[in-house]
Amino acid sequence: MKILVLGTAAILMATAAFAQSTTEKTGVNSALGVAPSTQDFVTEAAQSDMFEIESSKLALERSDDATKKFAQQMIDDHMKTTEQLKALLSGGKVKANPPAAMSETQQDTLNDLKGLKGDDFTRQYHSDQVDAHEDAVDLFKRYGEEGDQAELKAWAAKTLPALQHHLDMANALNK
């Protein structure tokens, strides 16, 4: 009987952890203003950086001068936040595993961008940048206000103004 109870408890705990990730992935946490778990935050922040860097590398090859200038800033700034996040994780205070790759949705968006050229590429890149930065601002705001790991919470709050600036820049390009 004791084994059955312990097994059931383990399944319930695993289900709760999975459900938390599911609510973050589906946008339920965002809609309710609930902070992501530390693992969800690390995963989404790292994946966001990966997408920003890779999509912006394409923009350097395929867009107009104003977009290229924006793209270079995205590469520089998101490489910097990637390094900062890696330092927090390797310092041992933040317990989370970084993802190996961007999300399937981000990879699909990147693949769609790879199939575009000229004005079609530029319009889609601008739109994708607005969407990506809206998501990032929301993520960093929620974790920066109510995250459960102090050092990571402080970093999220400190990084938020730069992400908001990126969103403002992306909105200006998208007009």
In the chain, where are the structural domains located?
1-34, 35-173
Answer whether residue 21 shows pLDDT above 50.
yes
The per-residue pLDDT for range 85-107, each reduced to its tens digit, is 999 999 888 999 999 999 999 99
Closest CA to 163 of 17, 67, 62, 44: 44
The pTM is what? 0.83
Give me 121's structure tokens.
């590429």
CA distance 31 to 138: 10
pLDDT in tens, 123-158: 999 999 999 999 999 999 999 999 999 999 999 999
Fold classified for 35-173: Ferritin (1.20.1260)
3-state helix, strand, coil in the chain (%, to 5): 85, 0, 15
> What is the chain's Cα-based Rg?
18
Identify the band that residue 61 occupies on the pLDDT scale cut at 50, 70 and 90: very high
* Rounded Cα–Cα distance for residues 101 and 141 (Å): 23
